[in-house]
Amino acid sequence: MLTDIALKAMKPAERPYKKADGGSLFILVQPDGKKYWRFAYRFDGKQKLLSGGRYPQIGIRAARSWRDAAKAQLARGLDPSAERKADRSLLATSVSNSFEDVAREWLETRTLGWSPRYAALVVGRLEADVFPYLGSTEISAIAPRAILDVVRRIEARGAVEMAHRVKNHLSEIFRYAIPDGRCESDPCRDLTAAMTRPKPVQHRAKVSARELPDFFRRLNADGGERMSHLALRWTMLTMVRTQETRFAEWCEFEDLDGAEPLWRIPPERMKMRSEHLVPLSRQAVATLREIHGMNVFRKAGNMRLGRFLFPVASARSFVISENRMLDIMYRLGLRGKATVHGFRGLASTVLNESGKFEGDWIEHQLAHQPRGVRAAYNSARYLQHRRPMMQWWADYLEAAEKAGQEGNTMPSLLATPQAPRASSVMLPWDDQPASAGLSCAG
């Protein structure tokens, strides 16, 4: 029985030669190095030869399937050569092992466990950067050099990290095809050494804990729009990403006039497949009340605008731009020194260094969750732990702001968390409490 390794190792000679695979199937190696499948058989007492295509375009599995189909015709008293003339699709109907077919099959087994957004990203990468070059090639015939050519095309446009991600996708596809014999090894396994190394991960620049008092002092002295300031404060208090703040909707809040106010962010806005639960501190609820009070679209009659905490009538997305909060940072003299996203890193650092909270609670609050059933279970399990943690963080920020107003340095970490107090917030379009539970449709 032939293998892909043996076939690839066959070198041309001065005269054509052949190597048998079994069942009258063999490979013919020509002096120019080209290799062709052949099937020898007898029909009506005559020796005949049937061509099965060229290797590696036709791999071992496809060739054997073609041979078996030809044998089945012989068993029925049919001449495979004559049947081919009548039906040129015999070889095409054999099992397809092209790289794209296998990759699509792999995608079907993986996408159920991925978010729609991530699944679309992976499919897009393969369709744009891989299938045009490797899609029609037999998967077992793809050599490391062919993979390297693909990833270097990606590197050439400056997308070094993307090249490594694509290489990892390809490696998974090859490893998926090994168990059922469609390929024998992963040609990606030794490629990393030949690829451009990505730049070291640089964490987002952030305001340090000791700089917080001065940050709040500058923020309070800034003459920018108050709604932009509230968006920034909201992002800091809730430890969410900028986009989650920008597209926040009033209907996502519950129990705001109770003891356990909560922000329930739907999964389609998160970088995960499950919703994200954000317990709200009393400072967050107070900020929410001020945001409501400044919502100029409350009586504008535009329901779509009225959905959002930070609506903008002139914006295509109906919400504040992604640069609105960053502009504040620039005005405060923090261009190149700190970003809005950096406050998530600051919160993580402060909470971890306080020694009061488990790392898992902090990671869940940052939406750095494991996937699957365990993620949903832990999200609910840690909610009661995260509630006092978020109140502690809000108290910490409040103490930093007070220190800035008084011209003091940052005080030591707060001693104990305080229990959140009940608050009442009215929705912007119906004068009903947010705890009434409205739909986000609109």
* pLDDT tens column, 108-123: 888 777 777 778 889 9
To the nearest whole percent, how much of the chain has pLDDT over 90?
Answer: 41
The catalytic position among 182, 206, 217, 241 is 241
436-442 long-range CB contacts below 8 Å, 24 or more apart? 437/251, 437/254, 438/250, 438/251, 439/251, 440/249, 440/251, 440/252, 440/266, 440/307, 442/303, 442/304, 442/307
Q: What amino acid occupies position 109?
A: T
Q: Which of 368, 410, 370, 365 is nearest to 388 (CA)?
A: 365
The Cα–Cα gap between 89 and 92 comes to 5
pLDDT at 387: 94
Domains and CATH numbers, the chain: 4-86 (3.30.160.390), 99-194 (1.10.150.130), 209-436 (1.10.443.10)
Place of tokens 């709200």: 280
Output the pLDDT for position 202. 53
Residue 94 has pLDDT above 50, yes or no: no
Cβ proximity of 67 and 23 under 8 Å? yes
Whether the predicted pLDDT of 366 surpasses 70: yes
pLDDT tier at 173, thresholds 50, 70, 90: very high
Cβ distance 410 to 403 under 8 Å? yes
**Residue 70 to residues 6, 51, 67, 222, 388, Cα–Cα distance (Å):** 24, 11, 5, 82, 73
Provide the 8-state DSSP code for 310: S
- CA dist 170 and 174 (Å) reads 6
Asked whether the beta carbons of 102 and 136 are under 8 A apart, the reply is no
Catalytic residue among 153, 165, 218, 271: 271
Contact 281, 385 (CB under 8 A): no
For 65-78, what is the mean pLDDT? 90
68's tokens: 């078996």
**What distance in Å separates the CA atoms of residue 261 and residue 282, rounded to the nearest whole number?**
9
Hey, what are 352's tokens?
A: 């971890």
Active site residue 241: yes
Q: Within 24-159, where are the H helices?
A: 60-75, 80-86, 99-110, 116-129, 131-134, 144-156
pLDDT at 292 over 80: yes
What's the pLDDT at 301? 52
Residue 360 pLDDT > 80: yes
pLDDT surpassing 80 at residue 38: yes
- Taking 60 as the threshold, does the pLDDT of residue 209 lie above it? yes
Place of tokens 């009903």: 432
Q: Name the DSSP class of 262.
A: E
The mean pLDDT of 84-111, rounded to a whole number, is 72
Site of tokens 């044998």: 71
Token couple for 392: 């502690």
Catalytic pick from 61, 307, 344, 387?
344
Find the catalytic residue in 374, 377, 381, 421.
Answer: 377
The answer on pLDDT for 357 being more than 70 is yes
Tell me which residue has tokens 């952030």.
206
Residue 93: pLDDT band (50, 70, 90) is very low
Banded model confidence at residue 267, pLDDT cuts 50, 70, 90: confident
Q: Is the pLDDT of residue 239 over 70?
A: yes
The arithmetic mean of pLDDT across residues 272-300, rounded, is: 81
Residue 189 is a catalytic residue? no
- Closest C-alpha to 269, from 95, 117, 91, 426: 117
Give yes or no: 169 in active site: no
Residue 237 reports pLDDT greater than 80: yes
pLDDT, position 428: 41
Write down the catalytic residue from 292, 341, 356, 385. 341
Would you call 164 a catalytic residue per the annotation? no
Strand-strand pairing, 46-55 and 25-29: unpaired
The pLDDT score that the predictor gives to residue 296 is 55
Task: Give the pLDDT of residue 272.
Answer: 61
pLDDT of 154 reads 94
pLDDT at 114: 77
Select the more confidently predicted residue: 165 or 299: 165
Rounded distance between C-alpha atoms, residue 256 and residue 426, angstroms? 9
CA nearest 196: which of 167, 161, 169? Answer: 161
pLDDT at 120: 84
pTM value is 0.53
Known catalytic residue at 229: no
Which residue has 């009659």 as its token pair?
301
Q: In sequence order, which residues have a C-beta less than 8 Å from that of residue 48 and are 6 or more positions away?
A: 40, 41, 42, 79, 81
Which of these is catalytic: 34, 368, 371, 402?
368
pLDDT of residue 381: 58
Q: What is the pLDDT of residues 377-424, one digit of tens each?
A: 455 558 889 999 999 999 999 999 999 888 877 666 544 444 333 334
